[in-house]
Structure 1
């Protein structure tokens, strides 16, 4: 199965994903600022359910792909590296988005909060691309079931993403006030995320997966 070092690298990638501005973070933070922590946590529960749907689709699909066309993994690996470089550019380009630049949202009932969180994640291309581009980098068919390895990686990703988003929801108001007063911190966050994404892209591109 997967080694501790491999799981640590994957956890780092999952951490970078959740800290990179995207629909899930923006929705949960915006909902929290507009309607309170409870609304943010309900929305996050919907987001987590969306992660589970993405996970099962990716795990089953990659398992079938590996059995049918093993050499396709190299194509996915390089595509994943290119996608990470694109995310890095989105983070550092002039006018790039910072994670706590929230939108104004109306107040909604719990059921709608949950469903909107679910749909926001389900339709989030960043999550789908993460699973499809990152999972193959860490899967080892010679070590046993690819499906079980995929599910293990998914559990790490959902744990990291759910935990970090929960912390962001609980501290959204204070963090937003702090960051809004310091453009330097906003820029530093963007450049740090961009640098880590680029480094991960290079590591994926040059790793030999024989």
Structure 2
């Protein structure tokens, strides 16, 4: 990934924030058939491994887990806030007419090594973790115990766990850091007016 210095994001707390707030990552693997990409919701554990650990599950019918080589290098891409930015939002555009359209975004590339975890205890614990995480905002959070045990047991047999021990995290936050402060503020205000609060908030943190 090409990263100009002004768009590089080295702060771990910010990288972790994107991974937590946007947990649907794109798992990129390379096998005998070439490149493969699987979108998966990940649980992130920042305290295990050199850079943390990602855990997810795939359908047993997915060939990913059978074709995976233990310890192979993989990458997971997490996309944070993103949106189109019009040059008309920059005050300087109306003075000099030297601005062009662009796209602002937050991206984290998580590199690591893959391990397959085809055991019921791991999968059950992972599903419970993901459920607690994503049901938390609900008025009455759903939990696995709401369903009959035999129903859950049957479903768990149809998924396989994967674990990625992270070795590095690479962040690129393209948030108009190369623009004048007044132009950045103009873009923030336009995004807020257009109901794009996530990117507007991310850009405000750079002002």
TM-score for the superposition, normalised by structure 1: 0.28
Higher strand share: 2
Larger gyration radius, structure 1 or structure 2: 2
Bigger RCO of structures 1 and 2 (CA < 8 A, at least 6 apart): 1
TM-score for the superposition, normalised by structure 2: 0.28
Higher helix share: 1
